[in-house]
């Protein structure tokens, strides 16, 4: 079982059944945490009654695809955030909900793509702050989620740099693979933006001075650090979004330029081919013409075809049409 009991800043017990939570929550010196992964509505309802959670908050857990937010109720907070799971091609946000009371934290994960053991490691590494109770636990959770956002935006930045370089490679203008890469990256960035932009409001709400449930003068500095990372992620996301738009416009301009080059080449060759067609057509008339029936007429036609064709080719080449 993913459960923990802290007492006066020390880890007293872990791995105990969730049924024992109510026995520990009644003592104000205790801080209790337990985790649920894809629970049923009945399980959520039972826990909601046991901890006195608002029915709307419990209903939001059952409803999928909530926007990242903080709801403030009389005796608890309800927080929705999204961790990011990226397999190299597709971004799969994982919804993580948290009920926060004065001495209890309940985390509810959408699926096991969010590894709660990494959060436990963070709590163990910073156990000197465990005396700050729920504020300490919630900080570790949010810090891990936001750091995941930061790592992923760095990965996206590397992919955008590779994309910038590839669009100027030979033959990139008609590359279907490049087009697919650009589409997938834009799609993942749009999905990433939806789950990261509202995090400014989430952490900002927790930093409000009138927020008593997790308000702690010592922990505020740590929440400020999380807020700084959130701002960096959102600003970086907007920057990459604009850069992707510029790359797309550049590629469209490349395609237009390439089409213009092709049209100039086709037009030039059409003009060159038209010359011998016109001359041979003139000398093929069934009426008398200069040189008709004479050997010099044939040679004059041949010289005109060759000379005018070479002249047109030289003019088009000089003007960079060929």
**Which tokens is 254 given?**
């490349």
Q: Is the pLDDT of residue 296 over 90?
A: no
Report pLDDT for 41: 86
Q: Coil, strand or helix: which one is 204? A: helix
Report pLDDT for 48: 86
The string of pLDDT tens digits covering residues 110-153 is 888 899 999 999 999 999 999 999 999 999 999 999 999 999 99
Q: Is this structure's pTM higher than 0.85?
A: no
Mean pLDDT along residues 276-301 = 67
Rounded to 5 degrees, φ, ψ at 57 are -65, -40
Report pLDDT for 289: 60
Report pLDDT for 213: 67
Report pLDDT for 77: 92
| Top CATH class, 3-254 | alpha beta
Q: Residue 149's Cα: distance from chain center in Å?
A: 9
Contacts of 217 (CB under 8 A, 6+ apart): none
Rounded to 5 degrees, φ, ψ at 11 are -75, 110
Residue with tokens 């990011």: 84
Closest CA to 113 of 138, 139, 87: 87
Q: Is the pLDDT of residue 47 over 60?
A: yes
Q: How many other C-beta atoms lie within 10 A of the C-beta of residue 105?
A: 26
> Residue 181, exposed/middle/buried by CB under 10 A (0-12, 13-18, 19+)?
middle
Report pLDDT for 138: 95
Q: Which residue has the higher pLDDT, 240 or 271?
A: 240
In which band, very low, low, confident or very high, does the pLDDT at 292 lie, cut at 50, 70 and 90? Answer: low
Mean pLDDT along residues 302-320 = 77
In which band, very low, low, confident or very high, does the pLDDT at 197 lie, cut at 50, 70 and 90? Answer: very high
Output DSSP code: residue 88.
Answer: S
**Which tokens is 214 given?**
């997790």
Q: How many other C-beta atoms lie within 10 A of the C-beta of residue 16?
A: 17
The string of pLDDT tens digits covering residues 51-110 is 889 999 988 888 877 899 999 898 899 999 999 988 878 898 999 999 999 899 999 998
């Amino acid at each position: 079982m993913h459960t923990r009991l802290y007492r006066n800043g020390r880890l007293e017990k872990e791995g105990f059944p969730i049924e024992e939570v109510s026995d520990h929550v009644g003592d104000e010196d205790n801080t209790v945490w337990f985790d649920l992964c894809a629970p049923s509505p009945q399980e959520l309802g039972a826990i909601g009654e046991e901890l006195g959670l608002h029915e709307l908050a419990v209903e939001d857990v059952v409803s999928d695809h909530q926007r990242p937010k903080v709801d403030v109720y009389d005796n608890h907070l309800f927080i929705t955030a999204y961790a990011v799971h990226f397999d190299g091609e597709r971004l799969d946000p994982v919804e993580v909900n948290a009920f926060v009371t004065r001495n209890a934290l309940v985390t509810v994960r959408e699926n096991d793509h969010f590894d709660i053991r990494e959060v436990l490691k963070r709590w163990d590494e910073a156990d000197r702050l465990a005396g700050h109770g729920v504020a300490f636990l919630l900080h570790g959770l949010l810090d891990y989620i936001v750091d995941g956002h930061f790592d992923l935006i760095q990965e996206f930045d590397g992919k955008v740099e590779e994309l910038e370089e590839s669009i100027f490679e030979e033959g990139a203008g008609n590359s279907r693979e490049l087009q697919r890469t650009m589409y997938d990256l834009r799609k993942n960035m749009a999905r990433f933006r939806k789950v990261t932009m509202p995090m400014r409001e989430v952490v900002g709400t927790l930093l409000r001075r009138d927020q008593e449930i997790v308000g702690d003068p010592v922990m505020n500095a740590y929440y400020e650090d999380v807020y700084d990372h959130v701002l960096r992620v959102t600003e970086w996301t907007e920057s990459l979004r604009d850069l992707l738009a510029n790359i797309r416009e550049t590629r469209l301009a490349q395609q237009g330029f390439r089409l213009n080059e092709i049209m100039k080449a086709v037009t030039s060759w059409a003009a060159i081919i038209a010359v011998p067609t016109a001359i041979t057509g003139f000398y093929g008339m069934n009426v008398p013409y200069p040189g008709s029936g004479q050997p010099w007429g044939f040679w004059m036609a041949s010289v005109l075809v060759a000379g005018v064709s070479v002249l047109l080719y030289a003019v088009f080449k000089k003007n960079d049409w060929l």
